[in-house]
């Protein structure tokens, strides 16, 4: 990305060989890549209001042989993210191959970042009384869309709309931007590299947002 190299003062010829960079996915543990994502997000302004949502990345192009050898047919990786609704910075990512339900994956990313959050908005896939009870203990506002058309659900949803639930679409915007500029198909072969590749893609998304503001 020449524009990003120019903003950061890096000459493209000084960058490591792509093979060297690819092997760094093995050398550094997942917490290092999460730290990189966090550092990139900290360069953008945080409002404390985040959107909790999930998206899928294609892995079949890079991993056809591996699933066949392991007797698996998993073609996508699910990524659950926290996206700041003001800056569109992606604060954290949780990846899984198995179809982990949103009510299980959602609290994981919120729990890791609860100290920095003021409000979380999420669709009805994350609506579960266990989740609401747990997140209420973190002193943050959890605006989740309730299922059904009962008077109680309608009242909850109307109140959420007034308190900022409509900002949930910001997460979809970050997904669209990342996939349009970097592709939605993963290139790494093994699942753990693919997890780290997804984290890196969102870190690059944050860096591009930072470059746009300079």
Structural domain boundaries in the chain = 2-213
Cα 199 off chain centre by: 8
pLDDT tens-digit map of 117-127:
988 888 888 88
- Classified as helix, coil or strand, 58 is strand
Please state, in angstroms and as integers, the Cα–Cα distance from residue 82 to each residue in 14, 38, 74, 124, 180, following that order.
33, 11, 24, 16, 19
Q: Is the pTM of this model over 0.85?
A: no
Read off φ and ψ for residue 63, nearest 5 degrees.
-135, 35
DSSP 8-state secondary structure symbol assigned to residue 76: E
Express each pLDDT in 63-115 by its tens digit.
566 556 656 566 788 999 999 988 899 999 999 887 788 888 888 899 999 88
Which of 18-32, 167-181, 187-201 is the least confident region? 18-32
pLDDT at 202 over 70: yes
**pLDDT tens by residue, 153-173:** 778 777 777 777 767 788 888
Contact 93, 114 (CB under 8 A): no
């Amino acid at each position: 990305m020449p524009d990003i190299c120019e903003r950061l003062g890096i000459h493209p010829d000084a960058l490591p060989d792509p093979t060297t960079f690819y092997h760094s996915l093995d050398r550094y543990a997942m917490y290092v890549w999460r730290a990189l994502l966090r550092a990139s997000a900290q360069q953008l302004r945080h409002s404390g209001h985040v959107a909790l949502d999930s998206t899928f990345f294609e892995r079949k192009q890079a991993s056809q042989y591996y699933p066949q050898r392991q007797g698996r047919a998993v073609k996508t990786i699910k990524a659950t993210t926290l996206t700041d609704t003001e800056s569109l910075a992606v604060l954290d990512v949780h990846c899984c191959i198995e179809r982990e339900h949103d009510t299980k994956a959602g609290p994981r990313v919120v729990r890791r970042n609860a100290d920095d959050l003021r409000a979380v908005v999420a669709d009805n896939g994350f609506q579960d009384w266990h989740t609401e009870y747990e997140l209420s203990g973190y002193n943050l506002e959890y605006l989740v869309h309730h299922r059904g058309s009962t008077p109680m659900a309608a009242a909850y949803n109307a109140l959420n709309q007034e308190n900022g639930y409509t900002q949930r679409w910001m997460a979809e915007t970050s997904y669209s931007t990342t996939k349009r500029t970097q592709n939605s198909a993963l290139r790494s072969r093994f699942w753990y590299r693919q997890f780290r590749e997804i984290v890196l893609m969102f870190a690059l998304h944050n860096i591009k947002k930072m470059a746009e503001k300079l």
